[in-house]
Amino acid sequence: MRLKTLLWLVALMPLAWCEVKVTNVEVKPRWPWNGKVDITYSIECDEVDDEGKPKDVYVDFTGIDHDRNREIRMKSFTGDGASETVKAGGPYTVTWDAVKDEPAINSSAFEVKIHASFWGLYMVVDLKKWTVRYSADGPNLDDDTCRTTELWLRKIMPGTYTMGSPSNELGRDSDETQHEVTLTKMFYIGVFECTQKQWELVMGSNPSLLKGDMRPVECVSYNMIRGTGSTAGAGWPTYGHTVDASSFMGILQEKTGLTFDLPTEAKWEYACRAGTTTALNSGKDLTSTGSSCPNMNEVGRYPYNQNDGKGGYTEHTKVGNYLPNAWGLYDMHGNVWEWCLDWWGDYPTSAVTDPQGPNVGSTRVLRSGNWNFPVRYCRSADRDYDYPKLWYYSGCYVGFRVACWPLAQ
């Protein structure tokens, strides 16, 4: 068997002078193979709470299917190590029902990653109470609070990927030069595009042209999201995540004490791809650029599935209506364009680490395509742009997705 186990080690210096370590890991597929995998691990951390008790540590599991070159959403667990949080100590035990999560999985061709930190796989912001909690489980789509009164974000671990598109990708543009990108810091990104109700709870009004509480907010400019201050909202990357206090991100930062902002273009594409290298984050490519594309029909709203019964006929639709990617992120293809932090500019021609885009520019980056543009604009690698004081193509086509950095960066 060529089963591998990778341990994630994270030092959380800004909040605690403590290193959280996953140790003594053993991963054993049951043999004869019956779809079950036994995992044991221990946690090392000296950090304690105000009462002198060990702090809760969130443990996340990630599977890599090497046969299909993509991540597996590991959800089906039993055992004392499968709870949302654990304390320092162990060994803890977990039994993973691999074939329940991935029926076609081969026991000799997958990898398991284990990561531990003080932050859970999902961050949840209550926009009425202004509290923040963490969860090991994703949102319940049958409960609309995840699209209205709560803001759900998913933890994205550091990694290296190839940004841009190969020369033979259908629908490719010349500005998508492939280059290696390494991201060194963990971050969170919205499970959904920011909805109209979420914007209204933060800002007090809804600027959208096509109304719907659970639809993505649109008619929002980059300046409305971050502000116009030369040393604040308009100052990326020189002034980092500093934003105007009255902007959407400024209010989120003030109410929570956390660094909320737009994602960089590199982080957006990394999160969108979720380990894939294809045009779509489902692991599939386009079948057409000028007509209906069955593969796009699965993952997002665009012109040729506007009447598929998933709401919002001939318009954008409620977030979370289509298939998520392997990291549980929805609507990263189509529905509305999404603002990114970066000034628009040419890609580098060599490998880069934690890129922030050009230092100056006149337009900011847009990603994801939208509900009324051809499918070629909805690809993972597609890029577009607009002036930060405007919203692209008559208003109702541009929104955004919230990101968060619990660690200083």
Residue 348 CA to residue 355 CA, distance in Å, equals 10
Mean pLDDT to the nearest integer, 322-327: 96
Q: How confident is the model at residue 17 (pLDDT cuts 50, 70, 90)?
A: very low
Given this model, what pLDDT does residue 270 score? 98
Which H or E run includes 358?
A: none
Enumerate the CATH 3.90.1580.10 domain ranges in the chain, comma separated.
Answer: 124-405
Q: Residue 89: left if φ>0, alpha if ψ -120 to 50, beta else—which one?
A: left
pLDDT(2) > 60: no
User: Each residue of 148-168: pLDDT tens digit?
Assistant: 999 999 999 999 999 999 999
Question: pTM of the entire structure?
Answer: 0.86
Q: Taking CA 313 as the corner, what is the angle to CA 310 and CA 318, rounded to the nearest 5 degrees?
A: 45
pLDDT(144) > 90: yes
By DSSP bridging, strand 159-163 and strand 179-183 are antiparallel
Q: Which residue type, as a one-letter code, is found at position 252?
A: L
Give counts: helices (H), strands (E), the chain: 6, 23
Q: How confident is the model at residue 13 (pLDDT cuts 50, 70, 90)?
A: very low
Q: What is the residue-averaged pLDDT of the chain?
A: 90
Residue 169 CA to residue 162 CA, distance in Å, equals 14
User: Each residue of 202-224: pLDDT tens digit?
Assistant: 999 999 999 999 999 999 999 99
User: Each residue of 47-99: pLDDT tens digit?
Assistant: 877 787 888 888 888 888 888 777 787 889 999 988 778 988 999 999 999 99
pLDDT(402) > 60: yes
pLDDT(368) > 90: yes
pLDDT(45) > 90: no
| CATH level 2 (architecture), domain 124-405 | Alpha-Beta Complex (3.90)
Query: What is the signed CA dihedral for 171, 327, 406, 56, rounded to 10 degrees?
Result: -170
Mean pLDDT to the nearest integer, 186-197: 97
pLDDT(8) > 70: no
Select 4-118's CATH number: 1.10.3470, 1.10.10, 1.20.1250, 2.60.40. 2.60.40
Nearest to 331 by CA among 340, 339, 341, 323: 323
187 contacts 403 by C-beta, under 8 angstroms? yes
Q: How far is CA 318 from CA 151, 218, 219, 322, in A?
A: 15, 13, 16, 10
Q: How far is CA 82 from CA 7, 61, 78, 154, in A?
A: 17, 9, 6, 18
Given this model, what pLDDT does residue 72 score? 81
Report which of residues 135 and 152 the model is more confident about. 152
pLDDT(333) > 80: yes
Enumerate the CATH 2.60.40 domain ranges in the chain, comma separated.
Answer: 4-118
Given this model, what pLDDT does residue 118 score? 85
Nearest to 266 by CA among 361, 360, 189: 189
Tokens of 103: 């029926």
Residue 64 CA to residue 70 CA, distance in Å, equals 6
Q: How confident is the model at residue 407 (pLDDT cuts 50, 70, 90)?
A: low
Strand order in the sheet with 364-367: 384-386, 364-367, 337-343, 398-399
Nearest to 217 by CA among 113, 70, 110, 316: 316
Q: How confident is the model at residue 396 (pLDDT cuts 50, 70, 90)?
A: confident
Q: What percent of the chain has pLDDT over 90?
A: 73
Given this model, what pLDDT does residue 77 score? 92
Q: How confident is the model at residue 227 (pLDDT cuts 50, 70, 90)?
A: very high
